[in-house]
Amino acid sequence: WVLEQLAAHQAQATFFCVGDNLRRHPDIARAALAAGHRLGNHTQHHRSAWNTPRAAYLADVAACEASLAIGYQLLAASSSPSVLGEKPTANSQQLTAETKLFRPPYGRLTWPVLRQLRAEYRVIMWSLLTRDYDRDLAPERALRLTLAATRPGDIVVLHDSQKASRSLRFLLPRLLAHYGDLGYEFATL
């Protein structure tokens, strides 16, 4: 559904993926890459760096990277018009050359972990959380707050999860339509 909404509004996005979800839904990752979207590392199990020993956290990041690599390999192996129904994209042809992206779950990192990650990743935070994960926040209110706070160049976070599903389904098409009408472009990082 998210990919369909993005396509309908000619919008590109970067998806920070949890490795467990990549392994459960490789078809979605493959479709996102084939459509020109970008994937980033969000750890294998969505753990907080504040509550996880450094070695275990970095192993979780590495496990997610392995899950991402499997998705890239699957796309490269299947990126023919007969399999995907479309031609390979620039993303699918330059997967290994791209800078690796990382976003920490909950936005939480420790300084030692951040120093190690920066050697291999571009660590990406956000400028605006929609709070789509907050079940106590009505989707209509989340939309009003997001519209009032969004500025050009913002990195806006939405979550494609069970917990956020109700708000995501309300927010995404409305945000895409509103900002598309204002002439905004939606791009990958």
Q: Which residues pair with 39 in a beta bridge?
A: 15
pLDDT at 74: 64
Q: Tell whether 5 is covered by a domain.
A: no
17 and 95, same domain (yes or no): yes
113 and 34, same domain (yes or no): yes
113 and 144, same domain (yes or no): no
Q: Tell whether 160 is covered by a domain.
A: yes
pLDDT at 59: 98
From CA 16, how far away is CA 41, in angstroms rounded? Answer: 5
pLDDT at 73: 74
82, 103, 125: which is the final residue of a domain? 125
Count CB-CB contacts under 10 A for residue 72: 18
81 and 19, same domain (yes or no): yes
Give the number of domains in the chain. 2
The tens place of each residue's pLDDT in the chain, 189 residues long, gives 999 999 999 999 999 999 999 989 888 988 999 999 999 999 999 999 999 999 999 999 999 999 998 777 766 666 544 333 344 444 443 444 367 999 999 999 999 999 999 999 999 999 999 999 999 999 999 999 999 999 999 999 999 888 888 999 999 999 999 999 999 999 999
111 and 156, same domain (yes or no): no
43 and 65, same domain (yes or no): yes
| Angle between helical axes of 165-181 and 139-149 (0-180°, round to 10) | 40
From CA 121, how far away is CA 127, in angstroms rounded? Answer: 19
The pair phi, psi for residue 143, each rounded to 5°, is -65, -50
103 and 146, same domain (yes or no): no
pLDDT at 82: 36
Residue 132 belongs to domain spanning = 127-181
From CA 115, how far away is CA 35, in angstroms rounded? Answer: 33
From CA 91, how far away is CA 98, in angstroms rounded? Answer: 8
Domain CATH code at residue 77: 3.20.20.370
What is the reported pTM?
Answer: 0.85
78, 101, 125: which is the final residue of a domain? 125
